[in-house]
Structure 1
Amino acid sequence: MESRKSERQLKVGLRIHVICYVVVHVMQVVVWRLFTPQRFFWPLYSLVAWGIGLAFHISAVSSPARRD
C-alpha cells in the first residue's frame, strides 16, 4: 500500500529539518567559540556532513518529478 505525503507535509518536514540544522549548528559554534576558539573549527565536520543530507532533502522536496 502506497502512502504519499501531501505537499504541505513535505514542506513542514523540510522546515523542521532546516530549523534543527540551524539551531544545532549555532549551539556548536557558540560552544566552539567559548571553549576552543584558538583551535581548529571542529563544527565544520557536522556542518558539511549534515548539510549534504539537508541538500538532498531540499532537492527531493523541490524536485519536479515529485509532483507526479
Structure 2
Amino acid sequence: MKSTKSESAQKWGLRWHLLFYVLGNLAQVIVWWIYNPDHFFWPLWSIVFWGIGLAFHYWSVYSPPKSNTQY
C-alpha cells in the first residue's frame, strides 16, 4: 500500500528512522558495555527486531509500485 506522502517525504522518513535506529541501538550497546559486559548481549533483541521493522520501512519506500489492474 502506497502512502499519499511524496516520495521525498518517504525517503526523509526512512533516513530519520535509520538515524534513530543507529543512535538508539548504539546507546543500548554503550549501556550494556558499561554495566554488564560479562552477561548476555541483550541489545541484540532490539537490533534484530527493530532492524526487521527498518527493513520493512525500506521495502515500503523503495519497492516498485503495484499496477492497478483489476482481475
Question: Same fold by TM-score, threshold 0.5 exceeded?
Answer: yes
After TM superposition, give the deviation of residue 65 of structure 1 in Å: 1.3
Q: CA RMSD in A?
A: 1.6
Q: Distance in 2 between matches of 1:48 and 1:36?
A: 20
Q: Distance in 1 between matches of 2:16 and 2:7?
A: 14
Higher relative contact order (CA 8 A, sep 6+): 2
Q: Distance in 1 between matches of 2:65 and 2:4?
A: 14
Q: Distance in 2 between matches of 1:31 and 1:10?
A: 31
Q: Which residue of 1 aligns with 2:10?
A: 10
Runs of 4+ in 1 over 2 A off after TM superposition: none
**Matched residues, number:** 65
Bigger Cα Rg? 2
Higher helix fraction (1 or 2): 1
Q: Distance in 1 between matches of 2:31 and 2:22?
A: 14
Q: Which residue of 2 aligns with 1:35?
A: 35
Q: Distance in 2 between matches of 1:4 and 1:24?
A: 28
Could you give the per-residue CA deviations for residues 37-64 of structure 1, whole angstroms, max 9, x where no partner exists? 0000000011111010000000110001
Q: Distance in 1 between matches of 2:6 and 2:60?
A: 13
Q: Distance in 2 between matches of 1:45 and 1:16?
A: 21
